[in-house]
Amino acid sequence: MEDIQSIKSWKVINDVPFAIAGPCSAETEEQLYTTCKGIKAQDITMLRAGIWKPRTRPGTFEGVGEIGLEWMEKVKTELEMPAAVEVANAKHVELALKYNMDVLWIGARSTVNPFTVQEIADALKGVDIPVIVKNPINPDLALWKGAIERIYMSGIKQIAALHRGFSSFEKTKYRNVPMWQIAIALKSDMPNLPLLCDPSHIAGTRDLILPVSQKAIDLNYDGLMIETHYDPDKALSDAKQQVTPHRLGEILEAIKIRQTTSDNQEFNSILETMRNQIDNIDREILESMAARKSLVDKLGEYKKENNVTVFQSNRWLEVFKTRAEWGSQLNLQKEFVGKLFKLIHDESIRLQSKILNNDKEKVSK
């Protein structure tokens, strides 16, 4: 996938990072026009609007359908701005192209279903249009990559990933937990792939949109998609996470854009020194982990000889408690230390279980 085009080469993009903005849903022609006119005044790159809204339960507002595309075409023509819409099946693709939409995006509820993505991919064969793929609802990197690959295999080379956060049973301040590490992993696997962020769906409330947006830009994302409505409190969908065009302008103005490199020779020299020091420390950490693994292997053998179970809950509770305390004394966050040692403990359990069951595996063979 090395021939995926840089987002800077998209004809509908003027600069990076860029912003896509518009209402969660096109509700009326007047609402769409008023909102988009306000967005244009904020020097935004591209408009967006939901035409079809897949809802969790029936009986709620599910979008206006094809008439919304008529409104969108009028608005984009009058304001001379490119427009993006969500598509969830082949018919949506056909209609979006009919009304000259400039960019399509695939939503989280569609990305989760390979059959749906393939239907959209088949409808896109022979079409030259940018496609943005949102992450699936659940934290599944393989599904996200698979959806992107299906679109790529249809012949689309202008593709971007859109990070909108993930559902979780864990209660947090976010509507959808960011899990930034998954987006970073996607970018690591597909370094040429442009990466965008949807802070509206991550935040769930408008007061969190700025900090989430800043975090994304700090991680070198290529742009943002922010839901905007001229009267958010009266919006028919996702009212709490939409902002006014004026507030949108304030958010974008407040975001600090940082460079990926510097021409300052002193800075680069100090940076290189610090990175070398970090490399040395990382090497020491891995050497310590290797030494720990050797002890775990011996421990597994000893438990096997004495017919003792791999896991003892009292020992795990002791490790979990003491390591967090040690970490606090070293100015490390308890949550970070807890996650770290859970990974270490899980690997210890895996290694010891392998040792204890080694004879059984030989017998079964």
pLDDT at 363: 40
pLDDT at residue 35 is higher than 90: yes
Write the pLDDT tens digit of every residue in 259-288: 878 889 899 999 999 999 999 999 999 999
- Asked if 237 contacts 221 with a C-beta cutoff of 8 angstroms, the reply is no
Q: Which residue would you say has higher pLDDT here, 129 or 15?
A: 129
- Asked if 5 contacts 157 with a C-beta cutoff of 8 angstroms, the reply is yes
pLDDT at 359: 58
pLDDT at 17: 87
Q: Which H or E run contains 273?
A: helix 265-305
Q: Which residue has the tokens 């009919």?
A: 98
Paired tokens of 236: 């028919």
Average per-residue pLDDT in the chain? 93
Helix, strand, coil percent content, the chain, rounded in steps of 5: 55, 10, 35
Q: Which of 239, 243, 250 is nearest to 228 (CA)?
A: 243
pLDDT at residue 365 is higher than 60: no
Q: Which domains are assigned to the chain? A: 7-254 (3.20.20.70), 265-364 (1.20.59.10)
Would strands 131-134 and 83-86 be described as parallel, antiparallel, or unpaired? unpaired
For residue 93, give Cα distances in angstroms to 24, 124, 220, 250, 315. Answer: 19, 7, 30, 34, 57
Write the pLDDT tens digit of every residue in 165-222: 999 888 899 999 999 999 999 999 999 999 999 999 999 999 999 999 999 999 999 9
pLDDT at 201: 97
pLDDT band for position 4 (cuts 50, 70, 90): very high
List, in sequence order, every residue forming a beta bridge with 131; answer none if it has no partner. Answer: 104, 159
For residue 41, give Cα distances in angstroms to 152, 224, 246. Answer: 35, 17, 9
CA pair distance 86, 96, nearest whole angstrom: 9
pLDDT at 361: 47
Write the pLDDT tens digit of every residue in 131-142: 999 999 999 999
pLDDT at residue 157 is higher than 50: yes
Q: Which of 4, 22, 8 is nearest to 238 (CA)?
A: 22
- Asked if 209 contacts 199 with a C-beta cutoff of 8 angstroms, the reply is yes
Write the pLDDT tens digit of every residue in 78-120: 999 999 999 999 999 999 999 999 999 999 999 999 999 999 9
